[in-house]
Structure 1
Amino acid sequence: MPEEDQAKILTPAARRRRQRMAAFAFSLFLAGMLIALAATVLAVNNGRNFERLVRQVGLEDYLLAAPPALRIDRQRRQPPASRFPPWLLRAGLERMALFEKAAAFSAEERCNLLRTQKGTQPTFTTSDDDWECLIFEEFDNSSEPASFFIQARGGLPDTFRNFRLKFSLTNPLTETVVLNEAIAAMQRFDLPMAPETRAYLAQKLTARTEFTSTSENYWMAFRQEIIDKRRYNLVILPLPQTITCGDPALPPPDRAGRPIYGMTVGCLSLQAAPRQPPPASSPPSLFPAG
């Protein structure tokens, strides 16, 4: 056998030695990659990750430089920047607001307020713990008369759940009368709303503009029917109350284990508005004649 072939034959000890050297070289390479990766992660964001790690292990006094001493001095008063609008810099109250307690009506009393000028009486019914108020009025004797329909539902004694107004403008000669009476009936139902919200509703119904709004404590939607473009629907739903006066019950802690602190919610003591009897005649028209 030639000497060259004998030199290529490795003994078991030499083979193990070569395997250990290869494993050691791979371990050094892997350790270097991990160290480089860790150094990159700690160095990003101007070294904030490194500072956070040092503070967590409690070595900030040894590895971090001391913060510079803060100079406490009188702050020089500077004029506001010229880019700020004048109304933002002007001190004052934009408008005055008067908070009044809404008049307390029972569900049946509120339903009776829907009585129209023609003498159409609403229908008030109760079933178990629920109540329903309905009123329907027609304005001509055609085969498809112009009309409006109101449906209000709630729970006894005076909980309000939904309000629906539907009017049909099938006769161009009575459109103004139907809209006037429908809006007036909605106003007489006297849902607790600000004057701005009532004016907003009247404006949208007058222009027959579709909308979906969340105003005060209500969700409102006004739509034109798809099948018959002469019919419109208004839906008003009260939003659920999420804040109450007094000390609220603490909710269960979340999964992250964040602490929850209970706080008392203060409520305004409102003065009741003087209750006035409804006028004998119908309210003034919201639309010009003709």
Structure 2
Amino acid sequence: MMISLMFLCPLLPAFLTLLFPSVSLALSHKDVARNRRQVFGDISAKVLVISTLPPSSVHALTPEEASKAYDNYASTYDELDGGKASDILGIDEARANLFGQARGAVLEIGCGTGLNLAKYDLSKVTSLTLLDVSEGMLQEARNRASSLRLPEDLSLRFIQGDATSELVQTFGKESFDTVVDSFSFCVMGTQGVKECLEQMSQVVKPKAKGGQILLLENTRSSNLLLGLYQDATADAAASIGGKGCVYNQNVSKMIESIRGLQIVREDLYAAGIFRSYMCQVDVATIV
């Protein structure tokens, strides 16, 4: 699923605006790039210690809970994701930068309503498989695809399934050149993320064959103030306004815990409250 940080924790914009007046200016100003730098420069200059709570990962939706919940969200989901906050934080830019690198046979898990469809460079893609646990979200993705001018020769599939346990049995090993996810990990819980990464690393082709995993995820901020704020509010955000999403996970550590899976590139956006990863599976390192 694709989840906006500003929706995940509705208190965050007001919190930042109160402490840092430049935030409200940036959200309304047309010069997005300049004001984005202003916002996070202001934040970095005024670090405050507000909590010593450890990162939370206790919340996790079961596949059944996620399917039911996102079926309910599906018809209005796009209204909750994106907008000015998404632009200011660089989410749209990050999607385009990362998913424009997808190539060959592509699998996207947690595809949601298909927001990434317009971000792919389809001249590089031979087939695109969109998987989600929610049939309601898949229907929205189908509707989006039908409204876009996709290449007629593009092989496009929509499949309902659980990315934490069903990828290998559904597709087989080394079936894809690129495996993609955006903002799904936060609803899986720590164990679910590790299981999903294990599945991904098996269905993608290894490094020697050019396979790659592209991830865009909510993460704990590298900024002290924002990181502590995330720790203090993660449970409330997940329970109240975040659709079960725990937005302060250490995704880098989770990736590194998977044998053979290596981070080739990691980019931070919006003071690290979300990050993009390019990963590859090096079978030579698997003992």
Structure of greater Rg:
1
Could you say which structure has the greater relative contact order, defined with CA pairs below 8 angstroms and 6 or more residues apart? Answer: 2
Q: What is the TM-score when the length of structure 2 is the normalising length?
A: 0.24
- Higher helix proportion: 2
Q: What is the TM-score when the length of structure 1 is the normalising length?
A: 0.23
